[in-house]
Structure 1
Amino acid sequence: MSDLANDLLRKKVRQQDAQSEFFSEGADSLGQLPNTRKKESLIGTQKLPEITSFFPHLELFTNDDGYVFQTYYKPPRQEVGESSVVFVMHHGAGSSGATFAKLTAAIERQCEMQSISSVPGVFTFDIRGHGRTGLLNPSTEENTKLSFDKLCDDFRFLLQCFHERYMSEGPPPSYFLVGHSLGGSILSKVVSDDVDKNVCLKNNLGQIISGLVMIDIVEDTAVKALSAMKSYLNAIPKQFPSIERAILWHIDSNLLHNLDSSLISVPELFTRTEEEQYKWIIDLRKTEPFWHQWFEGLSRRFVNIPSRISKLLILANNDYLDKDLMIGQMQGKYQLVVFHNNQLKHSNTLTTATQTIPLQDASELGHFVHEDVPFKVAASLIDFVERNDYNFATRNSSSSSMKSQIDLVAALNAKWGVPQ
């Protein structure tokens, strides 16, 4: 959420997007983007992809209260008998599981580019009141009762269901939890509670959580941004005449910078009304009573999680850490990766793994950094797994100049004559 405060205060979003000079006057057709006068070269005509292209397994999980959750899963790929790595991803407020679609594809592509023999799986879901989960529970007030404790309980339930459904057989997997914005805060709370109280995750699932990643969330910045949130939500368009207009609004208002990602993530935020308009599935204004509890104490919880669970913080355009995060960084309690817009002009700003940046990454980034530059974020995640899970498959060095840390250590030991 580090970039969100600046975005909210820097630009007022147009309340009536239909009057925008960027939109064409012709009729729209769901499934294609229209040509527009000033953005024709950028957008053109493209098909909206299906979410099953990214997640082959879509399954519903129902809790004891009868609330139904939509989940998405792409299985890992590894050699027979090897333990698997699975990223469990949690989206933020106002988003959906589809926000991780392009990142999921980028993880597989990065493994291919780096000649890594295994590919981590990805499990994600639409949280309470959001995306398809919100549509599956249309008549319940539970869709907007997003207390922090309830959201944490939801995640514990879903992780347990997922593990029992897909991972109970064979070698235990390594779970790397990845949360964007509010999702990062929820995951930090779940992990922190499990470590401190040992009562939250059943069947010792906490013991196979190897890492925690937070994407673009700093407590101090997030709390300050909340003061502008109500005005922002009141200013955004309440509905759009087509999905195409909704996509263009997200791009034009700088919420998203990657058109390819917006084609899959934006449609999952809307539902069609009887008047053939597209309105937001979740009205975040109704969740205002819970905003502050979402982020209070986040930084301290994250930093104080024991080193048994490796931690990574990915930020966009912001290297201003609050006090707890700054002290934790100086003490080496977590890994920090910061992307800047001015770095996107260069091809080797992160590691040698990113010397070739696929064109699917945007030329700018913002709060949804994992959507704007999915290939760079995927490279960071794979590097994080390699550093912290020694069971993760090594690279095929015969077909790649890249080597894992283990390969590099072995090479240096041989050079220096260190006994193996």
Structure 2
Amino acid sequence: VWPSLARTRKQQRVLVTTTNSYNLAASLFTCLFAAFKLCGCNTSQQCAVCGLYCACLSLESMHRPLPVMAKGRGSLPRHPVAPNEMPPPAMGKAPWARGSPDKERREVGEGEDEGGLMEELYVPKDKGVYTPLTWEGFFDEKLTLAVGHDSFNAYAKGKSGPLMVLLHGGGYSGLSWAPLMEKMTGQECTFLAYDCRGHGETTTSNDYALSEEQQICDCEGVIEAFLQVKGRVDEQRPDIHLVGHSMGGAIAGKAGGKKRIKGLKGCIVIDVVEGTALSSLQFMHTVLSKRPADFSSLSEAIQWNVATGAVKSSEAARVSVPGMLKEEGGKWKWRIDLTQTERHWKGWFEGLSEAFLSCPGSRLLLLAGTDRLDKPLTIGQMQGKFQMVTLPACGHVLQEDNPAGVAKALHRYLERTRPIDLSHLKHA
């Protein structure tokens, strides 16, 4: 605040003299709060406006000692540094500062919402492009796989190498993996992303039979049907790796833990942890109730998902959101009513941590933050039972918010798990 209010040495001396003439505490905090309005800057960041290491803008810091005066004529106040504490590293510019390259936020409405906080609307940096995209630019082919009397819609990329089966989260579709597929290049690998029962373009006799056991059976059936179509059975059967996000991550972990997938060599779970998921279920109805019932067009639906921060990238939303909707009566409505799946929610996540830790082969957990680990996984990580990669600044859908980061993690995973070819070695 001080440099912005006093830019010349003379102005600085006048300001310091004036401040010392009044109550320093009242003057300083009035100045700070008027300029920043509790912007949220904390001790780990350098303020983008005043250039000082701000410990004065959070509620906790109001109880800290007041800034002390540095020695020297006309010096500006500096924030006190605790003994044995190094000043935090400077940052380029706070995300909330004007002209931030990351993102901007603005307040909507005059009052407060039900939770007592002003609603924030996420304003993406890539504004204005909300036309839907199709699967063709991301996958090689689209298939219909028959599993019993049901037909599963699927998308595939690649023709050789290990098979990575991609399971999407509840309410999404196989197109949720499209942004990731755009980044997965240069790998000898086959990717299969299918629409789960009740999602996307899959048609079944009972779209709401989404129990853990039924979804594992569906996963088995889809894999076998795909390998039959591609002629990769028996001796030609590839190594299989399950990759699941949210609900799909729970099914991948459970299927791996129960050893239900033949030839399974590894499991990758994206942003789902048993303890965190179970504690969040009580808020699901509130989250779902805030979604619009329908949209007048796909572009409007894409714009809503980006504006609310459900998906942080409009490019990802343009291909993934259409798979979440269906046209009905001239409106675009959600493909599945997730509230009708409530009876299955606990079953998806209970026992997930132990199941994941018992999966055969390699295990990888991708999270948006380490704070989401529960006790069993924290212990498992300390014991080296799985690899964990965190991708900060992401929402829940990591493969859409940061496809490049997820692709990098998968590239390393594939390199680490690739079988070593010893055929060229000669026996003595």
TM (norm. structure 1) is 0.68
Given candidates 87, 90, 99, the residue that maps to 2:167 is: 90
CA contact (8 A) 1:148 1:186 kept: yes
- Show structure 2 runs of 5+ residues with no match: 1-107, 422-428
1:296 positional shift: 0.2
1:311 aligned counterpart, secondary structure:
strand
Are 2:289 and 1:212 aligned? Answer: no
Structure 2 equivalent of residue 186 of structure 1? 251
Contact 2:130 2:302 in 1 (8 A): no
Say if 2:175 and 2:323, in contact at 8 Å, map to a contact too: yes
Which of the numbers 152, 157, 160 marks the counterpart of 1:69? 152
Measure, in 2, the Cα distance between the counterparts of 1:214 and 1:245: 31
Count of residues paired in the alignment = 307
Question: How many Å separate the matches in 1 of 2:113 and 2:296?
Answer: 15
Q: Which has the higher helix share?
A: 1
Map of 2:375 onto structure 1: 323
- Separation (CA, whole Å) in 1 of partners of 2:151 and 2:113: 35
User: Among residues 71, 95, 101, which one is paired with 2:178 in the alignment?
Assistant: 101
Alpha-carbon distance, 1:387 to partner: 1.1
C-alpha change, 1:262 and 1:321, in structure 2 (3 Å) is same
How far has the Cα of 1:256 moved from its partner?
A: 0.6
Q: In 2, Cα distance between the equivalents of 1:369 and 1:238?
A: 25
State whether residues 266 and 359 of structure 2, in contact with CA within 8 Å, keep that contact through their aligned partners in structure 1.
no
| 2:163–2:239 contact (8 Å) kept in structure 1 | yes
In the alignment, structure 1 residue 267 sits paired with structure 2 residue 322:
yes
Q: Does 1:51 find its partner at 2:105?
A: no
Deviations along 1:265-305, one digit per CA (max 9) or x if unpaired, are 0011111122x211001000111111110100000111123
Aligned counterpart, 1:244: 299
* 1:295 is the counterpart of 2:352: no
- Identical columns (%): 32
User: Which of 1 and 2 has greater Rg?
Assistant: 2
Partners of 1:317 and 1:340 within 8 A in 2: yes
Cα offsets for 1:139-173 (capped at 9, x unmatched): x4x11121111111100111111122222387442
8 Å contact kept, 2:130–2:314: no
Q: Quick one: which of 190, 193, 202 aligns to 1:124?
A: 193
Instruction: Give the TM-score of the pair, scaled to structure 2.
Output: 0.67
Structure 2 residue 334 is the aligned partner of structure 1 residue 280: yes
Distance 1:14 1:128, change over 3 A: farther
Residue in 2 aligned with 1:336?
388
Contact map agreement 2:257 2:357 (CA 8 A) in 1: no
How far off its partner does 1:47 sit?
4.5
Q: Compared with structure 1, are the counterparts of its residues 368 and 172 closer, same or farther at alpha carbon in structure 2 (3 Å cutoff)?
A: same
SS of 1:213's equivalent?
strand
Following the alignment from structure 2 to structure 1, what is the Cα–Cα distance between the partners of residues 123 and 199?
30
What amino acid sits opposite 2:286 in the alignment? Answer: S
Matching of residues 359-398 of structure 1 within 5 Å:
365-391=394-420
Q: Check the 8 A contact 1:181/1:216 in 2, yes or no.
A: yes
CA contact (8 A) 1:314 1:336 kept: yes
Aligned letter for 1:305? C
CA distance 1:40–1:373, shift in 2 (3 Å): closer
CA RMSD in angstroms, aligned pairs only:
2.7
Query: What secondary structure, in the 3-state scheme, does the structure 1 residue paired with 2:258 have?
Result: helix
**8 Å Cα contact 2:129/2:314 also seen in 1:** no
